[in-house]
């Protein structure tokens, strides 16, 4: 006996598990926001004006503020501010995902975002200002822009993650959950309606009883 498929049978749709979109959004937001901001950091990054002393790459730096410290300072400030903004956004946007795993996920990708921020920022700086590398021929006496390579270390990448997780965790305790309040308001309204219905039914029954007595 041959079995034929019912053409009217509904086609089952395969949907992604709940929460996958939230985790994917965190990845996209972290990579995109850190990547965009790194371009601005790379263009505005402080630099030295140096004079080439010899073909061996020796440079004479003109007196200026500590460029290394200023660049590192703004790297930490911008990456930490982005991490805080992403943590607040993730907490407000995805209420069902307010758990330890989602918190750790945001922290992880903020650390990866800081790594992206550092790498793209270096590329933009060295490309935009045409900073020569060690392999290029340096003509003695010429003046060039020079930016020391930033080495944030593990602490530089961990700080944004720590900021994101701390902000997310702190919001759990200071946030006011609207859902229980809404449920409480609904229960109060229902109780008021029930009281009104009971009072109306009591008035109606009393009226009928009095009406019956008058007929007698």
Share the mean pLDDT of the chain. Answer: 76
Do 161 and 192 have their domain in common? no
| Structural domain boundaries, residue 199 | 177-216
Whether 55 and 160 map to the same domain: the answer is yes
DSSP characters for 156-196?
HHHHHHHHHHHHHHHHHHHPPPHHHHHHHHHHHHHHHHHHH
Provide the whole-model pTM.
0.67
* Both tokens assigned to 149: 């390579």
Residues 104 and 210 in one domain: no
Q: Using pLDDT thresholds of 50, 70 and 90, give the confidence band for residue 66.
A: confident
Question: Which of 104, 114, 85 shows the shortest CA–CA distance to 23?
Answer: 104
Q: pLDDT by residue (tens digit) across 84-105? A: 999 999 998 888 778 889 999 9
Nearest CA among 132, 130, 26 for reference residue 88: 26
Query: Helix or strand or coil: residue 109?
Result: helix
Per DSSP, the three-state class of 91 is helix
Q: Confirm whether 55 is domain-assigned.
A: yes
The DSSP letter of residue 54 is -
Q: pLDDT band for position 120 (50/70/90)?
A: very high
Scanning the structure block, which residue is given the tokens 């990054």? 45
What's the structural domain count of the chain?
2
Whether 195 is covered by a domain: the verdict is yes
Q: Let me know whether 46 and 148 are in one domain.
A: yes
Can you tell me the distance from the alpha carbon of 83 to that of 33, in angstroms, rounded to the nearest whole number? 10
Same domain, 186 and 170: no
pLDDT of residue 62: 67
Pairing of β 48-52 and β 143-146: antiparallel
Is residue 15 included in any domain, yes or no?
no
72 and 48 within one domain = yes
How is residue 156 written in tokens? 């530089």
Q: What is the dihedral of CA 184, 185, 186, 188, to 10 degrees?
A: 90
Query: What dihedral do alpha carbons 76, 31, 116, 92 form, nearest 10°?
Result: 20
Looking at the structure, tell me whether residues 37 and 114 fall in a common domain.
Answer: yes
Q: Is residue 167 part of a domain?
A: yes
Check residues 185 and 123 and name the one with the higher pLDDT: 123
Q: What is the pLDDT of residues 157-216, one digit of tens each?
A: 999 999 999 999 998 888 755 444 444 344 444 555 455 555 555 545 555 455 554 555
Give the H or E element holding residue 216: none
Q: Are residues 91 and 188 in the same domain?
A: no
Residue 187 lies inside a defined structural domain of this protein: yes
- 124 and 188 in one domain? no
Q: What is the pLDDT of residue 202?
A: 56
Q: Are 47 and 138 within one domain?
A: yes
Is there a domain that residue 121 lies in?
Answer: yes
Distance of alpha carbon 91 from alpha carbon 98, whole angstroms: 7
């Amino acid at each position: 006996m041959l079995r034929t498929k019912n053409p009217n049978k509904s086609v089952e749709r395969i949907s992604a598990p709940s929460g996958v979109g939230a985790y994917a959004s965190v990845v996209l937001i972290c990579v995109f926001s850190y990547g965009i901001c790194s371009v601005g950091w790379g263009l505005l990054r402080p630099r030295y004006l140096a004079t080439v002393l010899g073909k061996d790459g020796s440079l004479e730096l003109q007196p200026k503020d500590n460029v290394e410290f200023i660049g590192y300072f703004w790297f930490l400030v911008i990456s930490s501010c982005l991490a805080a903004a992403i943590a607040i956004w993730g907490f407000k946007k995805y209420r069902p995902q307010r758990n330890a795993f989602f918190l750790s996920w945001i922290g992880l990708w903020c650390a990866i975002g800081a790594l992206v921020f550092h790498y793209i920022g270096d590329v933009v700086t060295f490309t935009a200002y045409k900073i020569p590398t060690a392999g290029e021929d340096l003509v003695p006496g010429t003046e060039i822009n020079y930016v020391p390579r930033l080495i944030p270390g593990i602490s530089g990448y961990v700080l944004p993650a720590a900021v994101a997780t701390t902000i997310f965790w702190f919001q759990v305790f200071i946030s006011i959950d609207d859902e229980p309040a809404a449920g409480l308001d609904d229960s109060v309204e229902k109780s008021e309606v029930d009281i009104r219905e009971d009072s109306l039914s009591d008035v109606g029954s009393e009226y009928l009883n009095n009406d019956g007595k008058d007929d007698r």
